[in-house]
Amino acid sequence: MAKKVNKCCHNGAGKSAKERLKRFWDVFDKEDDVLVCINADPDALACALAIKRLLRYRVKQVIIAHPNEIHRLNNVAMVERLKIPLERLGNVKVQDYTKKILVDSQPTHLPVFERIAFDAIIDHHPVSGAYEAAFVDIRPQYGACSTMLIEYLRAANMKPSVALATALFYAIKVDTQDFSKHSVLADGISFRYLFNIANRNLVKKFELTDMRRSELKYFNVALSELTYSKGRFYTHLGKVRSPDILVNIADFLNHVDKIDWVFVSGVHGEKLVVIFRCDGYRKSAGKLAARIFGEVGSAGGHKEAARAEVPIKNLSLGDKEFTTQTLKRLATRHMK
């Protein structure tokens, strides 16, 4: 007998962890083949592993699939050392799965996700739409989606294995930047819960593996292109091997004293990728990214950190190339 599907989009307010867990479990049957979709990063990877644990013995199988290339060395190390089973979404026949879950993301975040009818959506990013799914739990106040999954595990009385605890522990560290970014008490409680279960030495290895020697050249380009104006840094790197180097450079520049905004862009494949950083105080990087690029590509994020990816063909540059000055003009035009 098919379960009733409700149209819902809520933030979990007023619901206990056990109530949310029961509603999540009620979506699935023993004969379900479940596909968990993620945009692979530490938080998404850890959440997918937690979902796999929550659904063990409750469904036929759980497969984790991601559309993005995993280039960042921290993430590669995490996947390899924790032996996380992954499939590329492009190699998976979505229609073969009876239930689909999206975690640490929302359908509007990527075009490939918009084409999939999800049965469950679990996320901690700002709500970007009203979704039709049997189960939706979106809590933007949380610093990490992994915190939400730890609450599910604890409600189920499932103690995570060392590997799962290590993944979740690392995910919270990354998404809260060691609690220097937005987080709530729940993040701290979950982090403390994992402290003596996770392999913290392994976490340190993940953290220290974040750059290839060949990528050092991009810092030279970034600094030579660097433009400063009114407490803001702008730099465009041109073509990059991986968008992750843009994140590394943006985070590096964000350490500089008296800098309110950092904008770092580069071209990867046929897309312009722009990384936004600010202190999040009376500012929102996510809202600014959406204002600038929302109509021509995918853009959004948190108050202090955001990202935009735009097909070059959508920028109407004509014969001109995108430059640091182009980046500066676009950002300045949309500043409030």
Domains of the chain are 17-208 (3.90.1640.10), 214-334 (3.10.310.40)
Tell me, what amino acid is at 70? I
295 secondary structure, DSSP code: T
Question: What is the structure's pLDDT at 182?
Answer: 85
pLDDT of residue 336: 62
What pLDDT does residue 11 have? 46
Tokens for 294, please give them.
Answer: 């929302």
Q: What is the mean pLDDT of each run of 10 residues along the chain (336 residues)?
A: 43 75 97 98 98 97 96 91 97 97 96 96 93 95 98 98 98 94 94 98 91 90 96 96 92 95 96 93 90 92 93 86 93 82
Is residue 289 within 8 A of residue 299, CB to CB? The reply is yes
φ, ψ for residue 233, nearest 5 deg: -105, 135
Sheet of 271-278, strands arranged across: 227-229, 232-239, 261-268, 271-278, 305-311, 298-301
The contacts of residue 238 (CB under 8 Å, 6+ apart) are 221, 266, 267
Q: Burial, 259: exposed, middle or buried (Cβ in 10 Å; 0-12, 13-18, 19+)?
A: middle
- For residue 215, give both structure tokens: 């990528």
pLDDT of amino acid 181: 83
Note the pTM of the prediction, 2 decimals: 0.68
Closest CA to 300 of 129, 131, 44, 47: 129
How far does the chain reach from its first CA to its final CA, in angstroms? 53
List C-alpha distances in Å: 229 to 196, 201, 226, 270, 305.
46, 41, 10, 29, 19
> To 10 degrees, what angle do helices 285-293 and 324-334 make?
110
pLDDT at 6: 43
